[in-house]
Structure 1
């Protein structure tokens, strides 16, 4: 499989190593919006920057190259991208986190939220910890987890950054600590006890492996998919 790496930072380099180890060829690696011929690739993996992601993704759609994107910060244009994907009969997977473990964690989070919705004495809170180079807060993964709780739990309608609890709002504490790839913890606390679930990443390889597996899976398909489709869960 010939892969275009759109975004060649730390994640792009980790994806490159894993893809080559799995027998694939990297034919494009770029951090620019232009200057590359996307038709050389069978599939594209986008871990670029917010102001380049939308262009990269749409360019793939227009040339019928399936694209996997893990770039955050561009989602104001997500619905527009989906419309173009459908119009061009493209193939697309966006995920805030491609880690196989995190995507199982998403499903556990949804299931727990559904159960805890029946127990009004518990209040939910969330903490995420990442490396100091991560500039956005909360993380895209934390937002996805909060949205999963809101969907399944009748008591919550919103989330906010900060540890102060307000009515119907999930408080998310974001910490930045050197050399932490990513930790997410969800707590349901009452005056008698606390129930917690945690996912801790040990390195970037889990994120990169998931992206490569998603690229392998989407080849030859048309439509908009999610990691739960790749993993056949949920």
Structure 2
């Protein structure tokens, strides 16, 4: 598989290491807008850049005809436009807030837990996420995905950046601690006990492996997909 890494920060380098060990070829390492020339014949682009550049990067690849696996978060106000462009150019596109296989299993567990727990009003629910101090967005895209699974089940109006849930808004607490790859906890509190569902990432390796699995799956496909499609959920 010939891969273009669009965004060559910590995630890009983690993906590169695993890809080379799996005998894939990195044909481009970009920190600027992709073009026909600098993509160097890539079969797929894996995009982990910044919230301010993700939209331009993804749309450029789709217009050129390169399928895109995107993991950048905090730009999703423009996701509808990306979907329109993907359809217009008959492209292939996957977005996920987190490509870790374990996190995507956690998403499924989170949804099922919310379906059970919302029937018991003595429990309140909120989310806590912890990441490294270099993370640019808060809350994390993964925390927002967890929230978006809970909100319709509970009938919340939305979420807010807060350590508690009130005013019909689901609370998401975001903490920044040096060198933490990512910890997400969904917490149900009652006066007599607490129930917690937690995912702890030990390194970026899980995210990188999942992104590569998604890229392999996407080649040759047309449409807009998520990790649910990749994993067959």
Question: What TM-score do the two structures reach when normalised by structure 1?
Answer: 0.95
1:179-224 alpha-carbon deviations (Å, 9 max, x no partner): 1110000111111211110000000000011000000001100000
Post-superposition shift, 1:34? 4.7
Residue 87 of structure 2 aligns with which residue?
86
Aligned length: 232
1:73-222 equivalences in 2 (<5 Å): 73-154=74-155, 156-222=156-222
Q: Within 1, Cα distance between the matches of 2:147 and 2:113?
A: 12
When the two chains are superposed, the root-mean-square deviation of aligned CA atoms in Å is 1.3
Confirm or deny: 8 A CA contact 1:97 1:103 kept in the other structure.
yes
Work out whether residues 164 and 170 of structure 2, in 8 Å CA contact, stay in contact via their aligned partners in 1. Answer: no
In 2, the alpha carbon distance for the partners of 1:17 and 1:126 equals: 32
C-alpha separation between the residues in 2 aligned to 1:60 and 1:136?
24
Given that residues 34 and 61 in structure 2 are in contact (C-alpha distance below 8 angstroms), is that contact kept between their aligned partners in structure 1? no
> Which residue pairs with 2:57 in the alignment?
56
Who is 1:69 aligned against? 70
For residues 178 and 134 of structure 1, what CA distance do their matches in structure 2 show? 10
Q: Tell whether the 8 Å contact from 1:116 to 1:153 is kept in structure 2 after alignment.
A: no
Q: Which runs of 5+ in 2 are unaligned?
A: none
1:73 Cα deviation from its structure 2 partner = 2.2
Q: Secondary structure at the match of 1:40?
A: coil
Partner residue, 1:27: 27
CA shift at 1:39, angstroms?
5.9
Residue range with higher mean Cα deviation, 201-210 or 61-70: 61-70
Offset of residue 77 of structure 1: 0.9
Equivalent-residue separation in structure 1 for 2:168 and 2:118 (angstroms):
12
Q: Distance in 1 between matches of 2:193 and 2:72?
A: 37
State the distance in 2 between where 1:92 and 1:34 align. 15
Query: 5+ residue gaps in structure 1?
Result: none
The 2-side partners of 1:37 and 1:133 are apart by: 28
